[in-house]
Amino acid sequence: MKIAVYPGSFDPITNGHLDIIKRASKVFDKVIVSILVNSSKTPCFEMEERRALIERVMGDLPNVEVDCFEGLLVNYVRKKGAHVIIKGLRAISDFEYEFQMALANTKIAPDIETLFMMTNQEYSYLSSSIVKELASLGGSLEGLVPDEIMQDIIDKVREHEERLKKR
């Protein structure tokens, strides 16, 4: 069985992520969307909130599951019985960092392959950070995140900001 891991912070999931998930699910027998815990960034959405949002918009993709991980990615990938790491590639900005990461991972785990999927042109500028920034400034998220989670994202981003202000 060809299993692939699609890692990220998904803070929150966007239409760009969803597009990669759907396309990857057609290429692999199983895709594990793996939410990174304890990244250097402080997330806006709690782990379980991020998971719930992903599960709500995944629809009925039978071969996709959501999981979380911390620590070294290649160790986690092996533990899951996977051999492929999927990364989305947007503009040039993603390239340098991802290129380094992929080479470093190959060095420490030659049995694991990193596969890059080119962004959909429509989403080439889209990131979780942009979504959070727009939500906090009152901009529209139409077309950037799935409709069914749009309001939850706006509410959470505002709540998070209020909490930070009170500190």
Look-up of token digits 């199983």: 30
Contact 7, 73 (CB under 8 A): yes
Asked if 58 touches ligand ATP (CB under 6 A), the answer is: no
List beta partners, residue 33.
6, 66
Give the CA dihedral 143, 148, 150, 151, nearest 10 degrees.
150
CA-CA-CA-CA torsion sign (95, 96, 102, 105)? negative
128 binds ligand ATP (CB under 6 A): yes
Distance of CA 73 to the CA centre of its chain: 14
Single out the residue of 54, 123, 135, 153 in contact with ligand ATP (rule: CB under 6 A).
123
Contacting range for ligand ATP; rule: CB under 6 A; set: 6-14, 23-31, 53-61, 74-82: 6-14
Catalytic residues, by residue number, are 17, 41, 90, 128
* Residue 9 found at the interface with ligand ATP (CB under 6 A): yes
Q: Work out which of 68, 127, 134, 160 binds ligand ATP, going by CB under 6 A.
A: 127
Q: Is 27 helix (H, G, I), strand (E, B) or coil?
A: helix
The nearest distance, CB 94 to ligand ATP, in angstroms, is 5
Q: Which residue has tokens 């947007």?
A: 90
Candidate residues 129, 133, 148, 155; the one interacting with ligand ATP per rule CB under 6 A? 129
Does position 105 bind ligand ATP by CB under 6 A?
no
Interacting residues toward ligand ATP by CB under 6 A: 8-11, 14, 16-17, 20, 87-88, 90, 94, 119, 123, 126-129
